[in-house]
């Protein structure tokens, strides 16, 4: 959930923007270095960002019968790494605010902190740890996406609780209040996003092994299983496999 425009008091909005700035600046430097040393990566990064934007516009069924949007941060962080996701996530949030009226500009810093910084780092950290301990790819992907989604909403709860402490019990009460509201909807949604991410990754390992090898998601060893030679497959063949 994006924090809506004007929801945070000015001091909080400014503080979250300041907190996000170092991560975004670090990501911008990493991206600039990458583009300067490898100019054609501009297009690849742009495509990655567009994919993140489109992913966040998809609607996933939730347990209540209504729909919600995946954050896409887990899959994005696994595919493109958290520093790059900080920049791509910031641009995506800016586009969402201006093109879809999701989120806002005064709350951009807070939304960037939860969705483009904490979510990707938590998701990637979980994925990386599980892979280090020998977990299968899809298990690591599920928990990575689950952790990214859930951590995003935990941080959002903290941001809201700090901005609007409970009249009786202060920050702790407000955190319990916002946290329990989110928990009702977001734990099932985090599970849904984890499952969706696994399904997407399964299709990608079949249809886009070349790209996954290039992005470092699959190692050369993992990429040896059937279909590894399809790295140079045409777009039509890849789409047919993905369908």
Within residues 91-130, the interface with another protein by CB under 8 A covers 91-92, 95, 97-102, 104-106
Tell me 166's DSSP state: B
- 101 Cβ neighbours under 8 A, 6+ residues apart: none
In the three-class reduction of DSSP (H, G, I as helix; E, B as strand; rest coil), residue 182 is classed as: helix
Q: How far is the CB of 234 from another protein (least distance, A)?
A: 8
Closest CA to 198 of 149, 138, 140: 138
Q: Which of 17, 19, 26, 35 binds another protein (CB under 8 A)?
A: 35
Q: How far is the CB of 186 from another protein (least distance, A)?
A: 14
Closest CA to 85 of 56, 107, 105, 106: 56
For position 232 contacting another protein by CB under 8 A, the verdict is: no
Closest CA to 107 of 186, 203, 13: 13
Asked whether the beta carbons of 217 and 240 are under 8 A apart, the reply is: no
For position 63 contacting another protein by CB under 8 A, the verdict is: no
CB under 8 A: which stretch of 83-91, 118-126, 127-135, 147-155 binds another protein?
83-91
Asked whether the beta carbons of 7 and 111 are under 8 A apart, the reply is: no
Q: How far is the CB of 132 from another protein (least distance, A)?
A: 25
Tell me 61's DSSP state: E
For position 42 contacting another protein by CB under 8 A, the verdict is: yes
| Angle at 187 (CA atoms; ends 203, 197), nearest 5 degrees | 10
For position 228 contacting another protein by CB under 8 A, the verdict is: no
For position 173 contacting another protein by CB under 8 A, the verdict is: yes
For position 191 contacting another protein by CB under 8 A, the verdict is: no
Residue 79 CB: number of other CB atoms within 10 A? 21
For position 44 contacting another protein by CB under 8 A, the verdict is: yes
For another protein, the closer CB: 50 or 129: 50
CA distance 102 to 78: 24
CB under 8 A: which stretch of 110-118, 130-138, 143-151, 195-203 binds another protein?
195-203
Q: How far is the CB of 221 from another protein (least distance, A)?
A: 23
For position 218 contacting another protein by CB under 8 A, the verdict is: no
Q: Which of 5, 17, 19, 138 binds another protein (CB under 8 A)?
A: 5
């Amino acid at each position: 959930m994006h924090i809506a425009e004007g929801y945070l008091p000015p001091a909080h909005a400014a503080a979250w923007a300041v907190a996000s700035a170092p991560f975004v600046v670090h990501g911008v430097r990493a991206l600039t270095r990458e583009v300067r040393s490898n100019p054609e990566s501009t297009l690849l990064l742009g495509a990655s960002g567009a994919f993140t934007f489109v992913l966040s516009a998809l609607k996933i069924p939730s347990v209540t019968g209504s729909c919600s949007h995946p954050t896409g941060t887990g899959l994005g962080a696994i595919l493109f790494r958290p520093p790059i996701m900080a920049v791509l996530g910031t641009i995506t949030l800016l586009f969402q605010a201006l093109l879809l009226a999701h989120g806002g500009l005064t709350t951009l810093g807070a939304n960037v902190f939860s969705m483009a910084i904490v979510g990707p780092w938590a998701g990637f950290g979980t994925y990386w740890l599980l892979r280090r301990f020998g977990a299968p790819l899809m298990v690591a992907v599920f928990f990575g996406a689950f952790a990214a989604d859930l951590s995003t909403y935990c941080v959002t709860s903290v941001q809201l609780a700090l901005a609007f402490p409970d009249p009786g019990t202060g920050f702790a009460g407000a955190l319990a209040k916002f946290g329990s509201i989110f928990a009702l909807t977001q734990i099932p949604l985090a599970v849904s996003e984890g499952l969706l991410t696994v399904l997407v990754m399964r299709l990608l390992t079949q249809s886009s092994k070349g790209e996954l090898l290039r992005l470092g998601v699959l190692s050369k060893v993992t990429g040896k299983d059937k279909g590894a030679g399809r790295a140079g497959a045409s777009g039509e063949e890849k789409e047919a496999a993905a369908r």
